[in-house]
A and B are shown apart, each in its own frame.
Chain A
Amino acid sequence: MLERIEEIRAEANAAIGAAASSAELEELRVRYLGRKAELTGVLRGIADLAPEERGKVGGAANKARKELEALLEASAERLDASELDARLVADRVDVSLPGAPPRAVGHTHLIARTTRQIEDIMVGLGYSVAEGPEIEHDYYNFTALNHPPGHPARMLQDTFYVRSHPEVLLRTHTSPMQIRAMETQPPPIFIVIPGKVYRRDSDATHSPMFHQMEGLAIAEGLTLADLQGTLLAMVRGIFGGEREVRLRPHFFPFTEPSVEVDVSCFQCEGTGTLADGERCNLCKGQGWIEILGAGMVDPNVLGFVADSGYDPERVQGFAFGLGIERVAMLRHGVPDLRRFFDNDVRMLEQFS
């Protein structure tokens, strides 16, 4: 009997080891360990054996059964793994096909993005952001900004007027908000004013609608040197930390002294010449690019808000205004101002 058990064990062991699929393995399990299997019969018939035989045969049969069970389990795991592998290998796709498209990715308009960038720089310098009306009173757009009626300086900006309201116009600059802000808040005041402005002009470098960013700082003891430092910080924030600014005296009716501000060219590093020896096209070989107008707020302007706490003998400060589109054009090589308002998605989608 013991020999038979050993035979069965050896035979089953070899068969299980050779099994090539889980189906075959299941067949072997039924054959060697199923209800009708010989070994099962042996175990079932132990009670019929002579008492001195029972222990030995029972022990050998149980040991064989446990060994075969363990073997079957190990083989099953082995076969499962290789069958899964085979199944996975068969289940292949062409990974070079394009992925399923998500909803299209949206894009922030370059004007909005540039506006935010400059706002953030100025917020970092302690400024607040103020917005204001685009349809304005002549008083705020001109008179209170030291452009008296009949003054030639008014002709610098060709103005859209509102029909049947000769004193109402589309603001030609964001500067009217200087006055509204000062009327509302006593000094010190540090604000930037982004927004749309309008001038009656249309070509590659002029659009009847465009965007400006105004800055206004009024407090005790602010100087032209402070203006230079503020503009340097702003320009470096926009165009990079290596930039320099250059202030050239100029004329604006609402600042005195007034300056035009150049930034050192970021394409040629201010040399006017590119690496290949060609003249820099961005600054036209000058090494400097005109970027904005600025100046010390004219005492006449403060005079219009004197009863809001702006005594020109006590407080003073500076203002500046730059064109958002001009900054974006320089930074990103946009050749024509009008492209910003075409809203051609092929352009919109170039700027994430």
Chain B
Amino acid sequence: MKVPYSWLREYCDPGVAPEELAERLVMTGTEVERVTIAGPPSAESFVVGKVLSAEQHPDADRLRVCAVDVGDGERTIVCGAPNVAAGQTVAVALPGARMPGGEKLRKAMLRGVASEGMILAADELEVGDDHDGILVLDEGLSAGAPLSEVLPLAEPVLEIEVTPNRVDCFGVHGVAREVHAISAAPLAADPWAQDAAAEGQGEVSDYASVTVEVPDLCPRFTARVFTEVEIGPSPIWLRARLAAAGQRPINNVVDITNYVMLLTAQPLHAFDLDKVPGGALTVRVAAEGEKMTTLDDVERTLDAETVLVCDGNGPSGIAGIMGGQVSEVSAETTRVLLEVANWNGTNILRTSRQLGLRSEASSRFEKQLHPVLCWRAQAIASRLMLEICGAKLVPGTIDVVGEIPEPRRIRLRAARVKGLLGMTVAQADQVSYLERLGFGVEVDGEDLEVEVPPDRHYDVTREVDLIEEVARVHGIDEHLPTTLPAVARTVGGGLTREQRLCRRAEDGLRDLGFDQAVGWSFTDPGEPGRLRIPDDDPRADPVLMSNPLSEDQSAMRTMVLGSLLDIASRNVARGVDRLALFEAGSVYLRGAPPADGPLAGAFRGKISAPATEPLRFAALALGPLAARSWRGDAEAVDFFALKGDLEALARQLGAEFAFAPAAEPFLHPGRAAAVSVGGEAAGWIGELHPLVCRAWDLDAAVAFEVDAAPLLAAASAGEETYEDVTTFPAAYQDLAVVLPTEVAATTVREAILAGGGELLRSADVFDLFEGAQLGEGRKSLALSLEFRAPDRTLTDAEVTGLRDAIKATLEKIGGTLRE
């Protein structure tokens, strides 16, 4: 909302510079985005001139050489406008004047004639976009008078961002009342207090009629009729005001409707009555699929909730949003029907969204105006119609109206004011703030009985709303104490164990050398395909958005891997040759989440979330994990390098992953494993399939992705119990076992642990050997074993016994000990 300062001051003059007022408005809840200047930056060197003569330029067909009286003498001014003529009173910029945009006007030679100034057109003063001819002023003005006495120059304009609750501030008068409230400067009499004299012929019902078929969507429809209307350009003051407020001047009737809307926040619409058959208007909803062409020359298809204003020939406008072409006011118009209506805000918002059509009117109606405003607008507009268009107002007003809401009465308790704000506001201050804001106030002991004015009817509905009004006018910045809630100390906060473990996991991956990434939750629906995931896999069935910004961001990711691949691909394209990335982030799967588990959340609420969003730890690495060196380069990361990191991650949390060969469509079939923890499936690790790498322009990469929930469930970090390892020494032994190649190391280890029983504390593979002397299809694994008893030193005989037991379990899986 652009508020020209001179217009505002007509109703309330705070007596301070606009910048100072803007600051005060900002601190009391009216967001002033900026203060700009409409028109030239300074009024200096702009004067009224009288054209004494206008002669053809000797060397240029389209230029005229004018003698202009500018008060202190006669000047020669070369002018290009076709309508310049002797005897005119015009606006002149003298050399030294600063034009809009800041450029300084200088004397100029125009085809050999020196020009000492410029006769101005409307657009050159930014009071309209008319450049065809110069601005002709009122004859009564005297030469040399400052132009700023005729129209506002260097007009400060407050650009206000009106919050959706304050529809009253979509009118200059509402802003003026706000200025009155915060500054206590006097507020002028209501501009609608005086109505126009009705001196037209007959009665309004002789000319027009209105039928409202949908009273719930059209709470009020008022109409007045004007005859003998003279259409023409508006007076310069009105054009200047509209231009400064950002509205293009069109003709006097349309300008009046816009002016009154900008003043009162109530939109109006003018019909050429002679284009309304029988003067009969009907308000109804559209038929589903009904079409009409709006003023912006677009044919629109309507639905059955769209409200129309129709005449005998069909729709003439979409109610509250935009008029139609059929009954537009034109140069030939002599009789005007002025509609001022009230519409259902929710319906206007819906229709405007549906049609993708917003207008100055709809942006006001959608916030719900009060029906009382219709009469205010009719009164002001009628006076201007008479004054500016020479029109006659036909007696009477058509007023189709249902029930007008009773004014709200709200009790404001002093104890609540102090209790909510934590500061005291004296009762006398509360009263004067509210009264200045337009509320009716009665004192009742400590408390107040408050009546809400119609402008604020839908905004101020409860005691708490009044408390806000009192607080902001009183001055929060100036008066509010700074305290801390004492009760928070006794509640005690903190991170949950799961939250601490998640942080630990992130730190662990970082300390293993991975850079943390934050990927997009969005992806494109083609990603599962590029990952070679078959259509019947749930990961190929992402949650899709109905209104994505682009197809590329229309699906929610079902795997973190895609994000890491995107990020890796972009980095590699920039020349990076080694990369270790991790992300701790969610994926989004169809179906409601599990009701419990470590990440089900401490604050789940009553309605289950619409989708499942498991937290994942995922990593991707490519190239060597260390930088190139003069000592020789590290090897590129492979399955085992990344597996070591994943195992380290688990150990940092006091858990252990188990690995089993498994196939994933996006992984190398021979270098991929399913990962589980605590007996629960957790995810996968593997070298990426070459075709997947190719799809992301990578040579090779290794990745893993595991669910946080089972890992955290299995984690013992923080919950450990002391174990005595010093009193009784451990016994260490190595053993080598020869077996068929296809027996997995895990199987061997499990067999050994089973054989060793609880006295065998660990068994770790430290060597793998395959060679001719073992025979075809055989391998030798070497493991180091640690035996320990908690309550005694193990004897050699005991250890030998355990070793025999291990030998027996190994034989069951086809292994023989090498002695």
Contacts and interface: CB of A to CB of B under 8 A. Distances in A.
Contact of B495 (A129, A219, A228, A343): A129
Contacts of B522: 208-209
Given A223-B419, A341-B519, A102 B603 contact: no
Given A106-B513, A163-B546, A248 B495 contact: no
B605 A179 contact: yes
Interface string A148-186: 011111011000111111101010000001011101110
A333 interface: no
Contact of B574 (A112, A341, A344): A344
Interface stretch (B67-75, B247-255, B272-280, B480-488): B480-488
B747 interface: no
For this complex, into which size category does the number of interface residues on chain B fall? 35 or more
A135 B543 contact: yes
B499 A129 contact: yes
B766 interface: no
A161 B601 CA distance: 24
Nearest to B606: A183
Interface string B559-577: 0000000010011001010
5 interchain residue pairs of minimum CB distance = A180-B605, A225-B422, A223-B422, A249-B29, A126-B488
Residue picked from A132, A209, A345, most chain B C-beta under 10 Å: A345
B506 A170 contact: no
Given A135-B613, A181-B605, A208-B522, A348 B515 contact: yes
B104 interface: no
Contact of B586 (A104, A126, A134, A164): A134
Contact of A135 (B465, B570, B611, B634): B611
Interface stretch (A60-68, A80-88, A115-123, A265-273): A115-123
22 contacts: A100-B629, A101-B629, A106-B512, A108-B516, A109-B515, A112-B584, A123-B493, A128-B494, A151-B346, A160-B548, A179-B605, A190-B491, A200-B547, A221-B487, A224-B422, A225-B482, A228-B482, A247-B480, A250-B31, A256-B464, A343-B518, A345-B581
Chain A: interface residue count, which band? 35 or more
B617 to A, nearest CB: 13
A102 B624 CA distance: 11
A242 interface: no
- Dominant SS at the A interface? mixed
B519 A343 contact: yes
Interface in A206-249: 208-209, 217, 219-226, 228-230, 232-233, 246-249
A229 B606 contact: no
A196 to B, nearest CB: 6
Contacts of A198: 521
Given A217-B485, A222-B485, A233-B484, A126 B492 contact: yes
B462 interface: yes
B484 A349 contact: no
B807 interface: no
Given A136-B609, A153-B164, A345-B515, A249 B493 contact: no
Interface stretch (B128-136, B437-445, B468-476): B468-476
Contact of A112 (B27, B492, B506): B506
A295 B476 CA distance: 12
Contacts of B366: 152
B166 to A, nearest CB: 7
Contacts of B367: 152
B349 A150 contact: yes
A133 B610 contact: yes
B626 A135 contact: no
Nearest to B367: A152
B511 interface: yes
A275 interface: no
B420 interface: yes
Interface in B488-530: 488-496, 499, 503, 506-507, 509-522
Contact of A251 (B163, B480, B481, B493): B163
Given A160-B545, A208-B549, A247-B477, A103 B29 contact: no
Contact of A127 (B493, B517, B518): B493
B604 interface: yes
Contacts, number: 300
Nearest to B578: A104
Contacts of B488: 125-127, 188, 190, 217, 219
A296 interface: yes
Contact of A101 (B487, B518, B606, B626): B626
Interface of A: 97-98, 100-109, 111-112, 116, 119, 122-123, 125-137, 139-140, 149-153, 155-156, 160-166, 168, 170, 177, 179-181, 183-185, 188-191, 196, 198, 200, 202, 208-209, 217, 219-226, 228-230, 232-233, 246-251, 256-259, 296, 298-299, 316, 340-346, 348-349
Contacts of B581: 343, 345
Contacts of A349: 515
Contact of B567 (A103, A340, A343): A343
Contact of A106 (B464, B510, B627): B510
Nearest to A257: B468
B553 interface: yes
A296 B420 contact: yes
Given A228-B480, A230-B484, 20 more contacts: A102-B626, A103-B512, A109-B517, A123-B495, A126-B493, A129-B495, A133-B593, A135-B556, A135-B588, A135-B609, A151-B346, A161-B547, A162-B543, A180-B606, A200-B549, A221-B419, A223-B419, A248-B27, A248-B29, A249-B471
Interface string B626-646: 111111001000000000000
B787 to A, nearest CB: 34
Nearest to A219: B487
Nearest to A316: B420
A235 to B, nearest CB: 12
Given A104-B625, A134-B586, A209 B468 contact: no
B516 A257 contact: no
A216 B521 CA distance: 26
